[in-house]
Amino acid sequence: MIISGPAGSGKNTVAERLMEEFPNVERVLTSTSRPPRGQERDGADYNFLSPEEFEKKIKAGEFYEYAKIHERYYGTSKKSISDAFSKGGDLLLIIDVQGAKTWKKIAENNPELSGRLVTIFIVPPSLDELRSRLQGRGTETEAEIERRMKTAEDELLQTKYFDALIYSKSRDEDYAALKKIYMHAKIS
Ligand code: 5GP
């Protein structure tokens, strides 16, 4: 399962709740070349790499997909997938729209994945609400918020590529919507 959505859409919050309720949901730890923010820890939130280390791994073919977002690299390493896969649960990836599109292509050509991948996009109530959520969390500078707002506008034009959309309301409502999608995907 892939969850995408603009920064501030609440995707991490609903994903964490899903993992609490369903311990067999295994989050895939992705890699980034951006520095840790706030309380983030290497190995828990991301594999934090230097830009040079990241580029080396790209050249070595270590990623299934990677994207450059806000001038930083983000990517899903082959190792992170096999690590999560070996635990035997349902894999959850929280990545951007480019990454979700790449995974859809991978799934089309992979009999084991096709028909099993579910991509979800969380649509914020409005751009104004998104901005105030970003300002409220206080982890980005104004310039970074502006950059994320621009990315959000672009991402909102690409919702048609997703299997399911969650129109963000309250945290509880968003979680209920995600849980419904997850339960449905599990039984079908
Ligand atoms: P942030 O810097 O706010 O943690 O993340 C910025 C964006 O990168 C978010 O949309 C996040 O979901 C996305 N992201 C995180 N890991 C990956 C990844 O492995 N691949 C891709 N394509 N996007 C990622």
User: Predicted confidence band at 187 (pLDDT cuts at 50, 70, 90)?
Assistant: low
What is the CATH T-level fold of the domain 2-187, as seen in this structure?
Rossmann fold (3.40.50)
Question: CA separation (Å) from 68 to 40, 95, 97?
Answer: 20, 12, 11
Q: Kindly list the domain boundaries of the chain, sorted by start residue.
A: 2-187
Instruction: Give the pTM.
Output: 0.94
Cβ < 6 A, ligand 1 pocket: 7, 30, 34, 65, 67, 69, 74-76, 94-96, 98-99
Closest to 96 (Cα-Cα) out of 11, 185, 181:
11
Read off the amino acid at residue 159. Answer: T
**Helix (H/G/I), strand (E/B), else coil: 26:** strand
Among the residue ranges 58-62, 171-175, 182-186, the one predicted with the least confidence is 182-186
Of 72, 75, 87, nearest in space to 30 by CA: 75
pLDDT confidence band for 79 (50 / 70 / 90): very high
